[in-house]
Amino acid sequence: QVTPGIPRRSRRRKSVSIAYDPGQGDGAEPRRARWEPRDWREQLERIREMRRSRDAPVDEMGVQKCYDSSAPPQVMRYQVLLALMLSSQTKDQVTSAAMLRLRRRGLTVDTVLQMDDETLGQIIYPVGFWRNKVKYIKQTTAILKQKYGGDIPSTVEELVQLPGVGPKMAHLAMHIAWDSVAGIAVDTHVHRISNRLKWVKKETKHPEETRVALEDWLPRDLWKEINWLLVGFGQQTCLPVNPRCSQCLNQDICPAAKRL
């Protein structure tokens, strides 16, 4: 009775082996080779070269420069989140100035909760959509006080539940505030440049689509670096309108380059 069962189990093992062993490599990888863009490593290295001087607005006034690094960790994390909320649809210079004004008032969960809406609006003006941001900041700060003891959540899933916090902000908050890489932070610069370089298998319409597409092939150890690299590159060279292709080291290997 035992003997007839042996060949059946053996056949099942063979079928599994055939299904999962491509005949090459160690058998641990999927059958199909992972898609990756043409020339991407060389393009990335050239972008690193162009960003070597670290003199773009994001380097000097980006969110990572907006918080008080001498503050207690919980306060620092709150300031990072607020800077990210202010930065949406706003130039780094404007966000940085608004954060300086807030910090002069003592920027903590409690000071913001004690501040009336009119005062908060006057301080953060002229950031983009400042009236909406006043509302979101007060709502989010109240939630942080009630639910998180004044700290910010430590997962992307919880961060995006906060009023006024989107996926890009959540991933950057994880990077900067928690020193944790949960995904790629994709803003308009990263979205635009990824499509121009064809770092997405097919054109994407929204930053979240781009994030998913990039995370599918880009090695995880590059996820944190890619936002900083591409944002500064987009601010200085690969501009939204009239990109400076003649100054770009990738001109000869960029699918979107305007070649003279």
CB neighbours of residue 136 within 10 Å = 18
Distance (Å, rounded) from C-alpha 140 to C-alpha 145? 9
- Token output for 98: 């608004």
Inter-axis angle of helices 73-87 and 130-147, to 10 degrees? 150
Q: Which of 133, 138, 168, 224 is an active site residue?
A: 168
Does residue 145 have an active-site annotation? Answer: no
- Scanning 129-242, the segments in alpha helix (DSSP H) are 130-147, 156-159, 167-178, 188-196, 207-215, 223-236
The full DSSP string for 75-106 is HHHHHHHHHHHHHTTS-HHHHHHHHHHHHHT-
DSSP 33: P
Tokens 């781009």 belong to: 210
The SS3 of residue 15 is: helix
Distance (Å, rounded) from C-alpha 21 to C-alpha 5? 24
Q: Which residues are catalytic?
A: 168
